[in-house]
């Protein structure tokens, strides 16, 4: 974001006026279908129930369902059509999401927790927003919500940011911050949590230019993941079919990553049209129109959204970066983080704790710390110190050795290739900067 002239940053409130969530459609639509087991009271999200079941069990349930309705040709055809059109989606989940078929299919299933068959309730809508109250009185007039996404804070602040920054269309507003969702089942480590970090950018454009910018951001965002080293073969687009679009979207695509547990969304790109600003204008009674000083017209811009989970994307980078390899008969574990993502950019070691080496190493550490996150380590053999940094994903290790005392150069060892080169102490900053920006 900070590399672009046409994107501004924002840090909006977590608690906003409840009308914001009415306008956005969250109070009405931000729901997940939920089912309960009447026997053991376990609760599941209908659309992800299939994730926790073996393929064989799902196929058996579909076979039994078809058997139970073998005289109903219309329904049988509907089931076969859904299975045939599934593509990358799980046909079992598609069937569960159909209100007519869902009930019948659920009656064929055993609860994954208690094992009983036919004990599921019908699917019910469950709103994912966390509620709390403003002030001492806990009544309906004091209800507020923890934001379930950062996007709405950007929409309601659109004109404040535009006026203060003097941006003209097209331009974007980006924000990183906490979002809260009362997820029915949290799972897979950082993939689904109730409190998570989002990084969203809303790009405001003229109507008619929305398709061009949607395609631009779709390509740009996939490239962003690749440019930071994510394995290209583990990334793919999942375009949303027209009949599955969210209430605000004209076009939508997910960028998915192949996690060890299967493909999952890491970012969504949406053409939100003029839906959001029009709704906030309507619910707040305040104009959110943009004044175009060339055409002298006032209008509501269209919005292209790029909505990524910072924590979920981090997890994708994390699993993508991890590998183990055999080096001189020992296993080394490495996080091959792109240098821009590595939490520590360089570690500094004195080869031995004498002969003035610690003093030189400490001086290098203090100088570099002004510009980079660095780590000082003088414990154990240098080989061990390398291994510890490999595990933490530190791309460069700098060692002060005997030669440093003679010619003021140090050994810089690169994490993945393990190659070493000598760099002059006074060039270290420039060396690290160039590595960060060119790799
Ligand atoms: P999902 O279908 O997985 O619930 P979503 O379609 O509801 O995700 P969006 O509302 O588009 O997700 O949110 C944008 C991004 O926020 C997602 O691509 C994901 O990276 C992240 N995200 C959403 N929900 C969670 C969560 N519960 N935990 C961690 N990250 C999340």
345-389 per-position pLDDT tens digit: 999 999 999 999 999 999 999 999 999 999 999 999 999 999 999
Q: Using pLDDT thresholds of 50, 70 and 90, give the confidence band for residue 187.
A: confident
Residue 371: how many CB atoms within 10 A of its CB? 11
Ligand 1 in contact with 24 (CB < 6 A)? no
* Helices vs strands, H then E, count in the chain: 15, 21
Nearest CA to ligand 1 atom 12: 268
Q: Using pLDDT thresholds of 50, 70 and 90, give the confidence band for residue 439.
A: low
Instruction: Give yes or no for residue 172 having a pLDDT over 70.
Output: yes
Distance CA 434, CA 364 (A): 18
Angle formed at CA 336 by CA 335 and CA 338, multiple of 5 degrees: 125
pLDDT attached to residue 246: 86
Ligand 1 in contact with 311 (CB < 6 A)? yes
Ligand 1 in contact with 203 (CB < 6 A)? no
Q: Ligand 1 pocket: which of 198, 236, 254, 311 to mutate (most atoms <8 Å of CB)?
A: 198
Residue 60: how many CB atoms within 10 A of its CB? 14
pLDDT attached to residue 247: 86
SS3 137: coil
Atom of ligand 1 nearest to the CA of 200: 14
pLDDT attached to residue 112: 87
Ligand 1 in contact with 218 (CB < 6 A)? no
pLDDT attached to residue 145: 97
Q: Which candidate, 275, 264, 204, places its Cα nearest to that of 234? A: 264
Q: How far is the CA of 201 from the centre of ligand 1 (A)?
A: 14
Percent of the chain with pLDDT over 90: 85
Instruction: Give yes or no for residue 264 having a pLDDT over 90.
Output: yes
In sequence order, what are the residues at sequence separation of 6 or more whose Cβ sits closer than 8 angstroms to the Cβ of residue 346? 368, 372, 374, 375, 394, 395, 396, 397, 398, 432
pLDDT attached to residue 86: 83
Give the CA dihedral 340, 342, 344, 349, nearest 10 degrees: -100
Ligand 1 in contact with 193 (CB < 6 A)? yes
Residue 21: how many CB atoms within 10 A of its CB? 22
Give the CA dihedral 375, 379, 384, 385, nearest 10 degrees: 10
Instruction: Give yes or no for residue 88 having a pLDDT over 90.
Output: no
Report residue 112 CA to chain centroid gap: 28
DSSP 247: T
Instruction: Give yes or no for residue 54 having a pLDDT over 90.
Output: no
Distance CA 169, CA 163 (A): 12
Q: How far is the CA of 161 from the centre of ligand 1 (A)?
A: 26
Distance CA 236, CA 267 (A): 11
| Average pLDDT over all residues of the chain | 94
Q: Are 270 and 221 in contact (CB under 8 A)?
A: no
Mean pLDDT for 313-339 is: 95
Q: How far is the CA of 309 from the centre of ligand 1 (A)?
A: 6
Atom of ligand 1 nearest to the CA of 265: 18
Ligand 1 in contact with 259 (CB < 6 A)? no
Which one has a higher pLDDT value, 330 or 438? 330
| Residue 298 backbone phi and psi in degrees, to 5 | -115, 130
423: β partners = 410
Instruction: Give yes or no for residue 302 having a pLDDT over 70.
Output: yes
Atom of ligand 1 nearest to the CA of 267: 18
Ligand 1 in contact with 267 (CB < 6 A)? yes
Atom of ligand 1 nearest to the CA of 264: 3
Residue 80: how many CB atoms within 10 A of its CB? 12
Ligand 1 in contact with 266 (CB < 6 A)? yes
Q: Using pLDDT thresholds of 50, 70 and 90, give the confidence band for residue 269.
A: very high
Q: How far is the CA of 186 from the centre of ligand 1 (A)?
A: 12
Give the tokens for residue 179: 């979002």
Ligand 1 in contact with 273 (CB < 6 A)? no
Positions of E strands within 212-310: 235-239, 251-259, 262-273, 290-292, 297-299, 302-309
Instruction: Give yes or no for residue 209 having a pLDDT over 70.
Output: yes
pLDDT attached to residue 141: 86
- Which range, 43-57, 109-123, 148-162, has the best average confidence (pLDDT)? 148-162
Nearest CA to ligand 1 atom 1: 265
Ligand 1 in contact with 183 (CB < 6 A)? yes
| 8-37 pLDDT per residue, tens | 999 999 999 999 999 999 999 999 999 999
SS3 203: strand
């Amino acid at each position: 974001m900070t590399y672009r002239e046409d994107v501004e940053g924002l840090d909006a409130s977590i608690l906003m006026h409840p009308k914001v969530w009415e306008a956005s459609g969250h109070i009405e639509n931000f729901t997940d279908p939920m089912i309960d087991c009447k026997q053991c009271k376990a609760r599941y999200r209908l659309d992800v129930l299939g994730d926790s079941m073996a393929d064989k069990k799902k196929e058996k349930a579909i076979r039994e369902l078809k058997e139970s309705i073998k005289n109903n040709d219309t329904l049988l055809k509907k089931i076969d059509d859904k299975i045939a059109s599934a593509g990358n989606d799980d046909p079992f989940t598609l069937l569960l999401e159909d209100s007519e078929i869902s009930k019948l299919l659920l009656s064929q299933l055993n609860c994954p927790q208690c094992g009983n068959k036919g004990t599921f309730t019908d699917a019910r809508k469950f709103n994912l927003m966390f509620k709390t109250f403003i002030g001492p009185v806990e009544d309906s007039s004091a209800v507020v919500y923890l934001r379930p996404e950062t996007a709405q804070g950007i929409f309601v602040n659109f004109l404040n940011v535009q006026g203060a920054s003097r941006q003209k269309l097209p331009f974007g507003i980006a924000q990183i911050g906490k979002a809260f969702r009362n997820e029915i089942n949290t799972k897979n480590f950082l993939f689904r949590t109730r409190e998570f970090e989002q990084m969203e950018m809303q790009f405001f454009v003229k109507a008619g230019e929305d398709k061009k910018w949607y395609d631009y951001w779709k390509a740009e965002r996939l490239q962003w993941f690749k440019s930071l080293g994510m394995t290209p073969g583990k990334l793919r687009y999942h375009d949303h079919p027209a009949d599955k679009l969210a209430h605000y979207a004209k076009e939508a695509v997910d960028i998915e990553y192949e996690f060890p547990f299967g493909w999952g969304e890491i970012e969504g790109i949406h053409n939100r049209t003029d839906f959001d600003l029009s709704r906030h204008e309507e619910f707040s009674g305040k104009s959110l129109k943009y004044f175009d000083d060339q055409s002298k017209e006032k209008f509501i811009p269209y919005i292209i959204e790029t909505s990524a989970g910072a924590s979920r994307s981090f997890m994708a980078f994390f699993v993508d970066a991890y590998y183990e390899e055999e080096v001189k008969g020992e296993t080394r574990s490495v996080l091959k983080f792109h240098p821009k993502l590595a939490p520590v950019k360089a570690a500094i070691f004195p080869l031995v704790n004498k002969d003035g080496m610690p003093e030189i190493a400490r001086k290098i550490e203090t100088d570099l710390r002004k510009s980079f996150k660095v780590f000082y380590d003088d414990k154990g053999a240098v080989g061990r110190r390398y291994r510890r940094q490999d595990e933490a994903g530190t791309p460069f290790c700098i060692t002060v050795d005997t030669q440093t005392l003679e010619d003021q150069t140090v050994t810089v060892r690169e994490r993945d290739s393990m190659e070493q080169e000598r760099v002059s102490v006074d060039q270290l900053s420039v060396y690290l900067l160039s590595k960060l920006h060119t790799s």
